[in-house]
Structure 1
Amino acid sequence: MSDDPEDLAGLRAEIDGVGRSAAKRFDPGAGAMLIAVAVLAVLVSFVLPWVGEDTGLRVLLGEAPAMPKVFSYAVLVAGVLFPAAALAVRRWALAWLSALASFAASVSGVLSIWMTQTTTGHQPGPGPGAGLVVAVIAIVVLLVKWLKIAASRPALQ
């Protein structure tokens, strides 16, 4: 083995490069299973009724005159697409993006539940269906999990 300074400098640069690459990635550990279960719950919620007899899928596709249309888009993006991308790539930026999107979707979901219970008249609204409640609970679980993962990033040295 040679002690050539150029070889040692090249080896040091390679080690530093691997360290920088590893610092950009997160390891969800056992939390990945909870995220996967929450994503599955979001997907199942789309076949359950959200408002009256209208399913989440009908709301998403615009076939139902239901109120939580914004939430249906938000939960699809924040509850399915971003978690899938973040778990596949495992980058901190996607973990933070998933956390922020989950926050926005959870606020939209709580407002959707509230909107289904209220109307402009004196009669109460149709109320939230089981699918809407499941979707909101799943997105709040995702919010908590993504915040824990995103906030666990070690300080750069």
Structure 2
Amino acid sequence: MSDEPDDLAGLRDEIDRVGRSAARRFDPGTGALTIAVAVLAILLSLVLPWVGDSTGLRVLLGEADAMPKFFSYASLLAGVLLPAITLAVRRWALAWVCALASFAASVSGVLSIWMTQTTTGHQPGPGPGLGLILAVIAIVVLLVKWLRIAASRAGLP
């Protein structure tokens, strides 16, 4: 009979640990499918032209003399690598990191589109290719999804 309070205390501690662990995790629900489609769109955009005839992969690898090089790195990091890690571990803190990284990448992407249209001369620039536009749209979709997931947390423990 004297072991019963110790067993209940141990059970209470275990339940509290499980509760704290669950509070640090999120369930993306159907948003995971939207995130996966956006990641696929970013990967697809790398084989499409970004600036002139230069594909996103050539811009990423530095083989093309193109302006949106920073966006190519940002889209790969914030649009492919971070979402894969975050969906695997499902931690709230990483959801916020993905939201902030997607915001930075989306700003960089919009600036990349603008920079491809402008030059220092009187002639317009080559303009953005289909791949660059697709990558920027996918990053903005990721931004919205990650902000919704990160902000949906009911209360902090």
TM-score (norm 2): 0.98
Following the alignment from structure 2 to structure 1, what is the Cα–Cα distance between the partners of residues 118 and 2? 78
- Report the alpha carbon displacement of residue 156 of structure 1 after superposing the two structures with TM: 2.7
Q: 2:127 maps to what in 1?
A: 127
Q: 1:39 maps to what in 2?
A: 39
Deviations 1:50-97 (A, max 9, x none): 000000000000000000000000000000000000000000011000
Matches within 5 A, 1:49-68: 49-68=49-68
3-state SS in 1 of match to 2:34: helix
Following the alignment from structure 1 to structure 2, what is the Cα–Cα distance between the partners of residues 119 and 90? 43
Alignment partner of 1:22 is 2:22: yes
Following the alignment from structure 1 to structure 2, what is the Cα–Cα distance between the partners of residues 65 and 128? 14
One-letter amino acid of the counterpart of residue 49, structure 1: P
- Report the alpha carbon displacement of residue 154 of structure 1 after superposing the two structures with TM: 1.5
Following the alignment from structure 2 to structure 1, what is the Cα–Cα distance between the partners of residues 18 and 60? 43
TM-score (norm 1): 0.98
The list of structure 1 runs, each at least 4 consecutive aligned residues, that deviate by more than 3 angstroms after superposition, is none
Identity %: 82
Q: 1:85 maps to what in 2?
A: 85
Following the alignment from structure 1 to structure 2, what is the Cα–Cα distance between the partners of residues 2 and 18? 26
3-state SS in 2 of match to 1:4: helix
Superposed CA RMSD: 1.2
Following the alignment from structure 1 to structure 2, what is the Cα–Cα distance between the partners of residues 107 and 43? 19
Structure 2 residues without counterparts, runs of 5 or longer:
none
Q: 1:75 maps to what in 2?
A: 75
One-letter amino acid of the counterpart of residue 46, structure 1: L
Following the alignment from structure 1 to structure 2, what is the Cα–Cα distance between the partners of residues 35 and 134? 14
3-state SS in 2 of match to 1:156: coil
One-letter amino acid of the counterpart of residue 80, structure 2: V
Following the alignment from structure 1 to structure 2, what is the Cα–Cα distance between the partners of residues 102 and 2? 56
